[in-house]
Amino acid sequence: MELVVALGLIAFKVALLIAILLLLPLPLTWMERKIAGHMQQRMGPMRVGWHGLLQPMADGIKLLTKEDHIPAEADRFLFKLAPILAMVPPFVVFVAIPFGETVSVLGAEITLYVSNMNVALLFVFAVVGLEVYGVIFGGWAANSKYALLGSLRTCAQMISYEIPMGFAVIGVVILAQSLSLVDIVRAQADLWFIVYQPVGFFVFFVAGLAEAQRIPFDLAEAEGDLGAGFHTEYSGIRFAFFMVSEYVIMVLVSVLVVILFFGGWNGVLIPLPPLLWFLLKVAFFVYLFMWFRFTFPRYRYDQLMTIGWKVLLPLSLANIIITGIVFS
């Protein structure tokens, strides 16, 4: 009986996570447009619902009902498979993400995570790396030179920035002596790792911007060069899968920054509930992603690769060496 209850609870957590992540792009697209509007001294969405609150719903209906176009010369199987390969890995990663310790519901203690893996950090990087297959398949299967060039750009960018991103967290692992995300947060109960790892945070956050393909690193979607990048030939719900993936990756990077460097659900000074602390921190970094989009110009491709290989990689290696010497 206990096993059935445990399995049912896991299924409920997974279903709740999927529902939240699928619906998350709706408020985030509205927030992004509003932030852009206020930064550019305009109103943003105003017509569909109060202050445009229903605009994301209208966009969703449009994408669901829009014609599902597949180019005549495309590889139909890979063309259909690519959006799924791009969207599924960011969703799967969240089974290893802790949002808190426990909450009491009707006298029962429920953990705020699906699984506390002892190698959660490795799991996150391994699964997120699979997204690159959706990108390359989407560009190649469309049989379009613009989509192919966009996918090649994206693959080179994602692979290049995964290396310093992975190195940036080694300092955190050294300090926490664990690959478990729960243990990493617990190790920051007294002092957040941002104090010890400012360089690691900088490298991780910049690499995260590139992994999420957000400005100033959105070379894959440089409209002036390639139309819309690897998903140029996609429409309707398949295009929506790529967009959902982009927003989920943005939230995932924000969550990882909070867990690895900003104490997770550990608060300071103000006695707020741990889960609220966690959500406020994540919301702040999501706002930073949106703020950067409407503040910085896009880098050239050679500049993007130079930053990854000649700036972030040496910084991440130096951070590992210094952390190892100081905390060994």
Angle between helix 76-93 and 120-128 (nearest 10): 160
pLDDT in tens, 282-320: 999 999 999 988 888 888 888 888 998 999 999 999 999
> Quick one: pLDDT at residue 284?
93
Q: What is the pTM of this model?
A: 0.91
Extents of the domains making up the chain: 70-103+114-327
**Low-confidence residues of the chain: pLDDT under 70:** 1, 106-107, 220-228, 328
> Quick one: pLDDT at residue 223?
54
Alpha-carbon gap, residue 161 to 310, rounded angstroms: 11
Q: What tokens appear for 208 in the block?
A: 């995260």
> Quick one: pLDDT at residue 271?
83
Q: Are 168 and 200 in contact (CB under 8 A)?
A: yes
